[in-house]
Structure 1
C-alpha cells in the first residue's frame, strides 16, 4: 500500500455554504453543459438549487471543444459555465479534459492510438483511445492541463482538480511499440540486469533466455501461453504507467495552481482489476471512486464491499463518490430501472462507508450519444418525474446529515485482506483451474459476515492487522517470505488468520514455493498439500459437517498434532481427509479452508471461526441478514447507518440512539425502516 499524501478535502467556495461556512456533504453530478443550448443552462442551475446540488464535475470530455485545433483555444463557454455555477452557489470539481483526444489530434498523430495484443489498432470513435506510454499524447495532454490550471487556478468556483477520467477503463493494456520501449525501461529499473530478469522470469523454460533488454516484448499474441512472470510484470507495469501519468498531470496542476486538491476517479467495483488502486491512493489528495451496481443475488453486498474497500484504500479518511447511477445504466445486457428507495439506499451506503460526497453520472440525461439511455438526475422525462423527485429528496437528506461530515469509519473486528497482485497472478492461464475468481471468493466471505451481522473491513494487503481479532485472506496466492513472517507474527500475537485454497502458492516472481503447499504458510497452518484437486464446473463435493464445496479441493496431510480438523471430505477420492483445519499458534490461530463454500455455505464454519476468535455480531439476532450496520465516528459521537437489505419493512426500535434523519424511518412510535430504507442513529462515542 502506497504512502498517502496529506489528506486535503474540497476547497469550498464561500458562495456554496447554505448557512455560513458549516460542514456539508458534497452532492451533485457530472455536468456537460456543452451538450445543451445556452438557454438550458439557466434551468439547470435553478433545478440544481432545488435538488440541493452543491458541486458538479465539469469539463470531463471537453477537449475537442476547448482546443478545436493544435493552436486554437475556446474557453469562453467554460468561463461562462464556471461563472454561472459560482453565481448560484455551486462548486466545481474541474476536470483536465484529457480523457479522450479530439479527432484533429488522432488525425495528426495516429501513433498515439493503442494497439491490442493481437496487433490491431484501437481506432477513434468511442473514448480513451490513447496510449498511456505515448510521449506525443502526453505532451499534448499536459499542455491542455497546464492551460486549464493557469486559466482557472483563481476562479472562485474551483473546489478541486479532476485528473482525466476513469484512467485505464478502456486502455489499461497497450501492446504498441511505445509500450514495448517503456516496458523495457521499467524492467531495467526493476531488475537492473538482464541476468536478474532471466532469473525472475524463469527463462530457462522454453528457451526464453534473453541476452539484452531490447529483446523483450510485451506479452503479445504468442503461439502458446506467454511466460507467466512476463504477464504479471506487464500487469504491474501497466498499472504503474497510468499511476505515473496521474502523477504527471497532478504535478502540472500543482505547479500552476498550488493549494487546490487533486483527485482522479478510481473504479473500485466488479472486475476492474487492472489498476492497483491501493498503490495509486498515495498520488491523490483525496480518493474518489465510481461505482455501478451489477445484477445478481449479491449486488447490494458487492456495493457495500466496494465502498468498504474504497474507504480503506482512503485510509479511513473521507472520500468522494464521483459517479453512480440514479436508475438504469446503458451498458449491461438488460438495463433495469431502480426500484423506489434504491437510489437513496445505494447513495447512503457509500456514505456509511466513509464517502463525504455523493455524485451521479450525470446531471441531465443526454439526448444523443452512446450513453443517452444512461439515467441522470434530470431524466428525459424532465423534472416532473419520480427520478428527479427522488434525487431532490436525497439532497435534503444529505443536508440533514451534515453533522457527520469529516467523521471516519469505525474499525471492525474482522478484516478481509485484498491483494491486487494475488488477483492478477491467480487468474492467469495454465493454472489448475480457469474457473477461479479471486474477487468472488472475497465477496463470498463478506456476504457471509453481513448475513451474521458482523462488521468487516475490506483492507488492502499491507494494512496493519494487529487491531483485528480475525483476518481473512481469501486466495492469498502470492506470499513473499516477509509477508509470511508478518502473518505468523499476527497469529502468534493473538490474531486469528483464515486462508483459503490456492493460497501461499507462489512468491513475488510467480515462482512456485517448493516442498508442498501452502508454501511459507505450511508450518503456520500445520498442513501440507502435495497436489491440488480442482473440481469441474458441474462437480460438487460434500463435507461431513453438511457443507458442499465447489470449484476446488485439496489433498491435505495434517502435519502438526495441534491441528483441529473442523470438517472432512465425506465422499470421493479424499473421503475422510481434512477439508477445513485450524491450528493454535501462540495466542492465536491459523485456519485453512480448502474448497469454495459460497456465501451461504460459509455460515457453519464461519460461526465456529468467529467464536474461537471471540467475535460476535453487533446486531440483535432478529436483524441479522435483514439489515447492514456500518458505523462512523467523529465529534464525540458514533453514527450508526442501518440499511434495510430487504423489500419488507424492518423494525429497528431496539437499536436505540437519536434518529439523525427522520426521513429514514417511519411508523408512529416505533422505528420501522421502509423497504430498502436507511436510518442514521447517533450514539455517544464509546
Structure 2
C-alpha cells in the first residue's frame, strides 16, 4: 500500500538517471544521514522512460523506487510529462510553442510544447497512465507530482492550435459573438467580429492590441495549463486512488501567468517553488510575502515547499551564494508562514547541463563542505519541529490579491507605466512585517468577516461581488485601506463610469475627477510632511474627511489621504504612492484604529509569526538584523532547546521556534 506523507517533509528533487548506479547507494546513505524523508523522482525522465512511442523502459526506475523504499525514504513520483522527448517534437513539430511575433520555440530546452496541443495531451496521458499502472500501489509512493512548474516557459502560446482552442474557450465563456463584441468593446477601432472563427490570439499588431482580448487570452492560457493538470490528475485518481496529487506552483517572484486561486481547488495539496532574489539584499521580505500568498491560495491550510535552493541558483544574472545561517533562516520563514515541509532542487548538484551550477543538498564539493553540514543540521532541526505540523496562522489583517487584477493593471495604454501591481502590495506587507503583525494574503472573493483590517492595493479590476464583500466587512466594523488605481474597471476591463475609484467610490466617500500621474522622478509633498511619487489625483470629498493633502504637484490643496466612517467601521483612501517611512506610519495608525496587536513587540530586523493548533501555539522568530535582540516570549525554544522564562535572547541571524506556555 502507498505511504502517508511525512509529518514534516524534508528532501528534494532526486535525479539518479544523471548518475551511474554506483552513486545511488551513496545517495540513500547520505539521505539517511541528513534526515531526508521525501524525494521527488522522475520529473525530467520522459526521454529515458519512453524511448520510442509506446515502448517503456521502467527497469531503472523500478530499482530507484525500491532502493528508496528499502531505506525508508518516501517518494513524490512525477508523471515525467514536464518535457517531451526529441522524437515527439520531431514527429509533431506542430506541437511546438510559438511567440506572439510568430517565432517558434524549438527543442533543446524544456517544456517544448503548446499547452493546447492535442498531440502533447495524448502522449502525456499515455505516459501518465503507464506510470500509474506500474507504481500506483507501490509502498514507497506518498504523492503524485504532475508535470513540473507548469507554464514556466510556455504559458502563452500563439500558434494556430492555440488560436483554435482560444476560439472554443471564448465560445464557452460568452455563448455568442455579440456578447464577446460587447465585452471586448470591438466598436472601437473597427474590431467587430461576425463570428468566433474570425478571432485570433493577441499576436503582434500594428498598434495596441485590444485590452480585453489580452486579458481573456491570459485567462484562457491559465485555464489550458490547468486542464492539462486535471487530465493527468484524473488518470492518477482512477488508477492510484487515495494518493494525493499535486503540481508545483510558482508563486512569487518568478511567474505571474497562472491564476493560482483558480488552480488551488483542483490539487489535493498546494505546493510551491520559491527562490530568493539574490539581487535583493532584503530578499527575505519577498519570501515572507510569497509564503503568505501561498497560504492564501491554500485557503489557510498548510502547504508544501516543493523547491527552494540550498545556496546559489544558476539562472539569475548574478547567482549569489547563501551565507552561513541563511539557509536555516529561509526555511524557518517558510515554516512560520504555513509550510509543512521543505524540499529543494535538487538532491545532488548536477555535473552537466544547464543547471550544473545550481546548488544541491550534496554540493560539488561533497560532504566535506559547509553546505552539507548545514543540510544535516537542518534535518536535525526539522526533527525537533515536527509538532508544528498541521497548525495554522491566525491573523487579524488581510491583503487582497488577484492575479487577474495584476494582468489587467499592467496592460498597455494606461495612465502611467510606473504603476506596477506589486508595488503597494509589497510595501504594505513590508510595513506589517516591521510592525510585527501577521497577515493573510487572500483573494477578493474571500470571506473578510473575521478581519479587523483589510488592505486593498491597486486592485484595478474588481467584481461587484468582491466590492460588496469589502463594503460588508467595513460596515460590520473593519477598517479598510484602498490605494490608488483600485476599483477602476469591471471584469471585462470596462471603466466604471461616474468618477473614480468606481467600485469603491461610495464606500470611501470620495470622487476622483481626473488622474494626474506624475512625471518620471517627480515627487509630491503632503501637508503632514510625507512624500509621494508616481501618482496623484484630482479628488473631491463626498462624505469623507481629508487626513492629508498635497502642498505641491499637479493638484495642490487636494486631499491625498482620506478617511470615511461607514457603518461600524472606517474606509481610508490613499491617492499617491507614499515613501516607505510615511507608509509605515500610516499602517501603524491603521493598526491602532483596528485594535490589532503584534505577535511580539516589534524590533528592528525582527520577523515574528504565530501558528496555532489544537495542542497549543508556536511563535516563530527570525533576526534579520546585525544586532542581538531581547524578545519577550515565554516557552520552549524547539530550535536551540531550553525554556525561556519571559525573555529570549536572539543573536544576529538567529532563529527560534517557541512553543508558548
What whole-Å deviation, never above 9, does each CA across 1:464-490 have from its counterpart, x for those lacking one?
111100100100111222222222211
- 649 and 581 in structure 1: CA distance in 2 versus 1, 3 angstrom threshold: same
Aligned position for 1:3: none
- TM-score normalized by the length of structure 1: 0.94
Does structure 1 conserve the Cα–Cα contact (< 8 Å) formed by 2:448 and 2:469? no
- 77 and 426 in structure 1: CA distance in 2 versus 1, 3 angstrom threshold: same
Specify which of 10, 22, 26 is matched with residue 27 of structure 1. 10
Could you tell me how far 1:500 is from its partner in structure 2?
A: 0.5
Trace 1:276-675 onto structure 2 (pairs within 5 A): 276-294=259-277, 295-410=279-394, 412-560=395-543, 563-620=544-601, 623-652=602-631, 654-662=632-640, 671-675=648-652
Could you tell me how far 1:413 is from its partner in structure 2?
A: 1.3
2:314 & 2:651 partners in 1: Cα distance? Answer: 28
Aligned position for 2:74: 91
- 533 and 321 in structure 1: CA distance in 2 versus 1, 3 angstrom threshold: same
Could you tell me how far 1:676 is from its partner in structure 2?
A: 2.1
Q: Alignment length, in residue pairs?
A: 660
SS of the residue 2:221 aligns to:
helix
2:599 & 2:614 partners in 1: Cα distance? Answer: 22
- 11 and 353 in structure 1: CA distance in 2 versus 1, 3 angstrom threshold: farther
Aligned position for 2:658: 681
Could you tell me how far 1:668 is from its partner in structure 2?
A: 13
Could you tell me how far 1:273 is from its partner in structure 2?
A: 1.0
* 486-495 or 99-108, which deviates more: 486-495
Does structure 1 conserve the Cα–Cα contact (< 8 Å) formed by 2:536 and 2:554? no
Could you tell me how far 1:195 is from its partner in structure 2?
A: 0.4
SS of the residue 2:518 aligns to:
coil
2:240 & 2:645 partners in 1: Cα distance? Answer: 53
Specify which of 140, 145, 151 is matched with residue 128 of structure 2. 145
Does structure 2 conserve the Cα–Cα contact (< 8 Å) formed by 1:666 and 1:674? no
What whole-Å deviation, never above 9, does each CA across 1:611-655 have from its counterpart, x for those lacking one?
2222233322xx434211111111320011111121333222x21
1:316 & 1:599 partners in 2: Cα distance? Answer: 28
1:63 & 1:668 partners in 2: Cα distance? Answer: 56
* 453-462 or 85-94, which deviates more: 453-462
Trace 1:222-237 onto structure 2 (pairs within 5 A): 222-237=205-220
Aligned position for 1:5: none
- TM-score normalized by the length of structure 2: 0.97
SS of the residue 1:68 aligns to:
strand
Aligned position for 1:204: 187
2:138 & 2:267 partners in 1: Cα distance? Answer: 21
Could you tell me how far 1:672 is from its partner in structure 2?
A: 2.3
Kindly report the root-mean-square deviation, in angstroms, between the aligned alpha carbons of the 2 structures: 1.7
* 1:188 has 2:167 as partner: no
What whole-Å deviation, never above 9, does each CA across 1:166-202 have from its counterpart, x for those lacking one?
0010011000111101101110111000000001100
Could you tell me how far 1:322 is from its partner in structure 2?
A: 0.3
Does structure 2 conserve the Cα–Cα contact (< 8 Å) formed by 1:582 and 1:589? yes
1:548 & 1:119 partners in 2: Cα distance? Answer: 45
Query: Where in structure 2 are there 5+ consecutive unaligned residues?
Result: none
